[in-house]
Chains A and B, each alone.
Chain A
Amino acid sequence: MADITALLQQWRTGDQAAVDRVCSELYKELHGMAARYLYAERGGGTLQATALVHDVYLRLRSIRDIDWEARGQFLAVVARMMRNMLVDAARKRAVRERGAVELELAAKLGRTDDFLDFMALDVALDKLVTESPRSARVVELRFFGGLDVKECAEIMQVSLSTVEREWRYGRAWLQSAITG
């Protein structure tokens, strides 16, 4: 992570190679953190989930010496990576489960909808972006990027109430698209 700051400075100057390097570094870092987080969680979790997620993002966001535009770009990239990563993981898990289901899991009692279906969410989010791009962006930054309303507002250069509105709409839109 140490040299990501330096790379980000180059990023601002429009160095494409730097952008590629940042992204690949970042993805590795992110992937590792997410994996460690999920593993700790699975192990029966002595760690507080929220604290850990916070930690993940704190580390990524602790880059203070770059201007807002670059930081916004950067966090947007993080959010997108997070989305890709989780959707990918969900897809793998689904394949696995389908395999497991075939293993004579007869007494299936009908699935509850306690959880968001990440794959369906991914597809829906792609649709939302064509219809209400700003709303889709808020969802990506908030839900996948883990940013709060204030940060979203700063990055998107809109008011707090706009972020709230877009968030509420995006959430409702996506949820109805998934369950419908």
Chain B
Amino acid sequence: MEGPGCKVQSPDDDSESSLGRQHPAQELFHRAAALTAEQWPGFLDRACGGNAALRLRVERMLAADGKPNPDWQVSALEAFARRDGGEPEMDYAVRSFGRYRVLKRIGSGGMGVVYKAVREDDQYRQTVAIKILPCGLDTPDSVQRFRHERQVLANLVHPSIARLLDGGATDDGLPYLVMDFVEGLPLDTFVKQTAPSMADRLRLFQRVCDAVQFAHRNLVVHCDIKPANILVESDGTPKLLDFGISQLLDEGHLSRTATAPLMTPEYASPEQVLGKPLTTATDVYSLGVLLNVLLTARRPYQTDGERPVDVTRAVCERGLDTSGLPEDLGNIIAMATRKEPERRYSSAEQLSADVARYVAHRPVLARRDTFLYRARKYARRNALALALVFLAVTAAGSGVTVSLLQSRRAARRFDEIRGLSHYLIFDTYDGMASLPGSTPLRKAVVGQARQYLDRLARDAGDDPSLAADIADSYVRLGMILGYPYIQNLGDTPAALASIEKARAILEPLARKFPRRATIAASLATVYRRRAIILSREDRADESIAAARQAVAILERSKQSAPIDSQRSLELARAQLTAGAVEEWRATEQRRTPGFEAGLLWMRKCIATLEAVPPGAGTESADRVTLIAMVYQNVSDTQRNWGEVTGDPRHYEAALLASGKSLAAWRKLPADDVRVRRDVADCVTSMGRVMGLLGRYADAEQSYQEALPEFERLVAADRDNLEAKQDLANLCNYRGETFARAGRKAEAAHWSNRSIPMYESVLQHDPRNRESAELLEKAKARKVAPAQPAPVKHSIGRQ
């Protein structure tokens, strides 16, 4: 508050005040505001006395009052919108960019607004085009892209490429580019207005090819070649504009997949539409479309609507309409626009050369051959991706037709969803597990994907690679439906059915192409997956047969083709599965020879793994994972063997193996949900063995360590059956250990806790025999819930 000496009149001539005393500053402000600025000093001298702080405040408020921020004239929402880059032409038309003065806005395309501007120095006057990123699109992604454009363009100096002259940032921090101002007409308009001869059109096209080839030699793909991006100057020189989404090719001449390409779908290649890796072949494709437009003046694809999915479909399924063109030109266009990148001209230069051959009346390289047939096949092969795109877009649009062409935002959303769909179905299972909470979404997507796959499989024909793709998709789908060791939808019968479909496709192929190692590996995988799913059902004999089949297939394939590390790992997996199933049946039947057989398989598996060179990256992680898994299985076998014979040496062996397993798990990245689950599982299992050895304190410590991890996983996704089962198991084992320790109340508490979880698992997955058995054991330990659970009390103190 203000100090003494402040002479303020008693507050408030405003009788309506119900909010108490007015602040002295406010009183002074209003009184001063009624005076003229000249009268203020005298008034404030008198009114504030020696209170300099108060005086300063009032003075500053009076100054602010005299120059109100224009934002106060409007509502906050409007002010925010103005700030957020609404009506950029009004914002920037009056501004300067460094040395450049804006003359007018000449358009907005892609992701930037373009102004015509002029550089006026003492020395010379130059007209330029300035492209600026509107604030509204000011995402890190678009800023990054913008910067990229600047670097790329700076290195490209060619008579048919609009040059980058300068770059900078506005006073709002928005990046802009200064480029050659090209005075010309967009290619399609130019053709319409000047109606050049066929020969002139082809020459024009060849010049565009030259520019693209030049960019390719500089490791730049344009990725958005279309008439609007090519201006023809009055002397007939074409100039390529807008490298906004071009991407620097890396050393391997293969850029990473464009995560959200802002392409114009009609001119985009199938690989672009499907979000696959982009190469120079992408530009060759767009050049082919461009040539067709140049020669026929037809839009590339006549689609019914402009829904993204319509255009996407058209790009992937249909060929261009080249009717009315000389056959050779039609063939050239067809060859440039083949759906498979590798079947196109290998460069813009080659495309141009074939055009030159046509012009010179020499035979062209392009042949019509099986173009339409192949196009349909390509569409089929990628139909799952398409189906998912379709689903995602329909779901997102919720009845509203969004136009990709009109809405960049829709395009981005579309790409995001497509990415998600790809991720769900095509990426690794580890990836799936790291998407907690996604089960309902996956359920919906998977249901549709399954129907689509069935349709695909029906008319797949006899193309082995397509069939293998479909089989692969069936296996993955099966796993998502009900594979025990990943996040799954708990539908075991559907999972088995899906995997059986894969087997039915692959088996005849493997017979037909016995030397194809990849088909053998795929088939072995199918059998192994089947074995694992069956092992969780009550079908031990079938499971063992399937596992042995998997091993046999790989051993056979080893004889016909040298084994690589990938197939070695697959062999190890098959051996491990065989061992695990043997062990499980032995436990089931309480027969010791089964344990020995199981351990034998596991030893073979360890030998296979030791023969695989450590390798790098994923391969190495796979190997470490397998090592962890096989030792965990050895541990389980020893423990179960011990439970059958009562010989504690088995428990010691089990603990030893668990230790090796844990050491291997801990080599893997701990931020991976999957790895954390496996570590917790291993720790739980060690707790159980320690309990069997009577080391109750150690056991309790292990359970306490593992519990929070499982609880987190269950909380993250309530539909995650595996997590639920893991948690139920831990509680159940803890109950078992307490029971051994003779602590009945705790035993009952933890056993009780596991029961509803098992019941919930079994409700969704009634054939889950492991859960069913453990539920029975838990129920056997259950006592009347009259005694409250002594949670704080630990058996560890005994």
State the A residues within 8 Å of B (CB). 34, 37-39, 41-42, 44-45, 49-50, 53, 56, 82-83, 86, 89-90, 93, 96-97, 99-101, 103-116, 118, 131-135, 143-144, 146, 157-159, 162, 165, 168-169, 171-173, 175-176, 179-180
Cβ-defined partner of B79 (8 Å) among A104, A115, A133: A115
Within 8 Å CB of B134, what residues of A?
Answer: 42
| Cα separation A2 to B593 with both chains bound (whole Å) | 73
Within 8 Å CB of B169, what residues of A?
Answer: 105-108
Within 8 Å CB of B29, what residues of A?
Answer: 169, 172-173
| Cα separation A103 to B140 with both chains bound (whole Å) | 9
Check B207 for interface membership: any CB of A closer than 8 A: no
Best-buried of A96, A107, A168 by chain B (most CB within 10 Å): A107
Stretch in B47-55, B65-73, B309-317, B754-762 touching the partner: B65-73
Contact A118 B14 (CB under 8 A): no
Cβ-defined partner of A110 (8 Å) among B86, B108, B138, B171: B171
Contact A116 B69 (CB under 8 A): yes
Listed A/B pairs (23) with beta-carbon separation below 8 Å: A34-B77, A37-B77, A38-B84, A39-B409, A42-B81, A44-B88, A89-B80, A100-B143, A103-B147, A106-B168, A109-B171, A115-B69, A131-B23, A133-B19, A143-B76, A146-B75, A158-B16, A159-B16, A171-B72, A172-B64, A175-B61, A175-B68, A179-B64
Check B172 for interface membership: any CB of A closer than 8 A: yes
Contact A50 B78 (CB under 8 A): yes
Within 8 Å CB of A146, what residues of B?
Answer: 75-77
Within 8 Å CB of A131, what residues of B?
Answer: 23, 25
Within 8 Å CB of A179, what residues of B?
Answer: 64
Check B234 for interface membership: any CB of A closer than 8 A: no
Closest to B27 in A: A169
| Cα separation A98 to B44 with both chains bound (whole Å) | 42
Check B173 for interface membership: any CB of A closer than 8 A: yes
Closest to B409 in A: A39
Check B254 for interface membership: any CB of A closer than 8 A: no
Taking the closest CB of chain B, its distance from the CB of A159, in whole angstroms, is 6
Contact B76 A144 (CB under 8 A): yes
| Cα separation A33 to B779 with both chains bound (whole Å) | 55
Within 8 Å CB of B170, what residues of A?
Answer: 109
Cβ-defined partner of B61 (8 Å) among A114, A159, A173: A173
Q: Inter-chain contact count A-B, CB under 8 Å?
A: 159
Contact B77 A82 (CB under 8 A): yes
Taking the closest CB of chain A, its distance from the CB of B175, in whole angstroms, is 6
Closest to A38 in B: B81
Contact A37 B76 (CB under 8 A): no
Within 8 Å CB of A101, what residues of B?
Answer: 173
Closest to B134 in A: A42
Check B62 for interface membership: any CB of A closer than 8 A: yes
Please tell me the size bucket of the interface on B: 35 or more
Given contacts A106-B169, A176-B64, 15 further A-B pairs with CB under 8 A are A42-B134, A42-B136, A50-B78, A100-B140, A108-B169, A108-B171, A108-B173, A109-B98, A115-B82, A131-B23, A132-B26, A169-B26, A173-B64, A175-B68, A176-B60
Question: What are the 4 A-B residue pairs with the smallest beta carbon separation, nearest first?
Answer: A42-B136, A41-B86, A175-B64, A105-B169
| Cα separation A85 to B452 with both chains bound (whole Å) | 43
Contact B136 A105 (CB under 8 A): no
Check B559 for interface membership: any CB of A closer than 8 A: no
Within 8 Å CB of B98, what residues of A?
Answer: 107, 109
Check B564 for interface membership: any CB of A closer than 8 A: no
Contact B82 A42 (CB under 8 A): no
Contact B64 A97 (CB under 8 A): no
| Cα separation A134 to B22 with both chains bound (whole Å) | 9
| Cα separation A34 to B86 with both chains bound (whole Å) | 13
Check B197 for interface membership: any CB of A closer than 8 A: no
Taking the closest CB of chain A, its distance from the CB of B13, in whole angstroms, is 11
| Cα separation A114 to B170 with both chains bound (whole Å) | 14
Given contacts A90-B80, A103-B144, contact A172 B62 (CB under 8 A): yes
Check B30 for interface membership: any CB of A closer than 8 A: yes
Cβ-defined partner of A105 (8 Å) among B16, B87, B173: B173
Within 8 Å CB of A134, what residues of B?
Answer: 17, 19
Taking the closest CB of chain B, its distance from the CB of A171, in whole angstroms, is 5
Taking the closest CB of chain A, its distance from the CB of B349, in whole angstroms, is 35
Contact B173 A49 (CB under 8 A): no
Contact A116 B173 (CB under 8 A): no
| Cα separation A88 to B515 with both chains bound (whole Å) | 62
| Cα separation A131 to B24 with both chains bound (whole Å) | 10
Within 8 Å CB of B428, what residues of A?
Answer: none
Contact A162 B57 (CB under 8 A): no
| Cα separation A32 to B488 with both chains bound (whole Å) | 35
Within 8 Å CB of B74, what residues of A?
Answer: 49-50, 53
Taking the closest CB of chain A, its distance from the CB of B133, in whole angstroms, is 9
Contact B83 A115 (CB under 8 A): yes
Contact B173 A100 (CB under 8 A): yes
Check B85 for interface membership: any CB of A closer than 8 A: yes
Within 8 Å CB of B70, what residues of A?
Answer: 114
Cβ-defined partner of B173 (8 Å) among A56, A97, A133, A176: A97
Contact A56 B140 (CB under 8 A): no
Given contacts A105-B175, A118-B80, A172-B62, contact A96 B26 (CB under 8 A): no
Closest to A39 in B: B409
| Cα separation A83 to B80 with both chains bound (whole Å) | 11
Check B63 for interface membership: any CB of A closer than 8 A: yes
| Cα separation A89 to B135 with both chains bound (whole Å) | 13
Check B139 for interface membership: any CB of A closer than 8 A: yes
Check B364 for interface membership: any CB of A closer than 8 A: no
Taking the closest CB of chain B, its distance from the CB of A131, in whole angstroms, is 5
| Cα separation A99 to B108 with both chains bound (whole Å) | 25
| Cα separation A114 to B25 with both chains bound (whole Å) | 26
Given contacts A168-B33, A172-B29, A172-B62, contact A38 B80 (CB under 8 A): yes
Contact B22 A83 (CB under 8 A): no
Taking the closest CB of chain A, its distance from the CB of B19, in whole angstroms, is 5
Contact A115 B138 (CB under 8 A): no
Closest to B144 in A: A103
Within 8 Å CB of A111, what residues of B?
Answer: 171-172
Within 8 Å CB of B140, what residues of A?
Answer: 96, 99-100
Closest to A113 in B: B69
| Cα separation A104 to B173 with both chains bound (whole Å) | 10
Within 8 Å CB of A165, what residues of B?
Answer: 14, 30
Within 8 Å CB of A168, what residues of B?
Answer: 33, 65
Taking the closest CB of chain B, its distance from the CB of A150, in whole angstroms, is 15
| Cα separation A97 to B82 with both chains bound (whole Å) | 16
Within 8 Å CB of A38, what residues of B?
Answer: 77, 80-81, 84, 86, 136
Closest to A167 in B: B72
| Cα separation A50 to B77 with both chains bound (whole Å) | 10
| Cα separation A179 to B71 with both chains bound (whole Å) | 14
Taking the closest CB of chain B, its distance from the CB of A43, in whole angstroms, is 8
| Cα separation A101 to B72 with both chains bound (whole Å) | 28
Closest to B57 in A: A176
Contact A104 B147 (CB under 8 A): yes
Within 8 Å CB of B62, what residues of A?
Answer: 172
| Cα separation A113 to B83 with both chains bound (whole Å) | 11
Taking the closest CB of chain B, its distance from the CB of A79, in whole angstroms, is 9
Within 8 Å CB of A90, what residues of B?
Answer: 80, 83
Within 8 Å CB of A171, what residues of B?
Answer: 64-65, 68, 72
Within 8 Å CB of B17, what residues of A?
Answer: 134, 162
Within B127-153, the residues touching A (CB, 8 Å) are 134, 136-140, 143-144, 147
Best-buried of A108, A112, A113 by chain B (most CB within 10 Å): A108
Cβ-defined partner of A116 (8 Å) among B26, B63, B79: B79
Contact A49 B19 (CB under 8 A): no
| Cα separation A146 to B78 with both chains bound (whole Å) | 10
Within 8 Å CB of A109, what residues of B?
Answer: 98, 170-171
Taking the closest CB of chain A, its distance from the CB of B644, in whole angstroms, is 59
Closest to A89 in B: B80
Within 8 Å CB of B168, what residues of A?
Answer: 106-107
Chain B 768-797 near chain A by CB (<8 Å), digits 1 or 0: 000000000000000000000000000000
Within 8 Å CB of A107, what residues of B?
Answer: 98, 168-169
| Cα separation A157 to B18 with both chains bound (whole Å) | 10
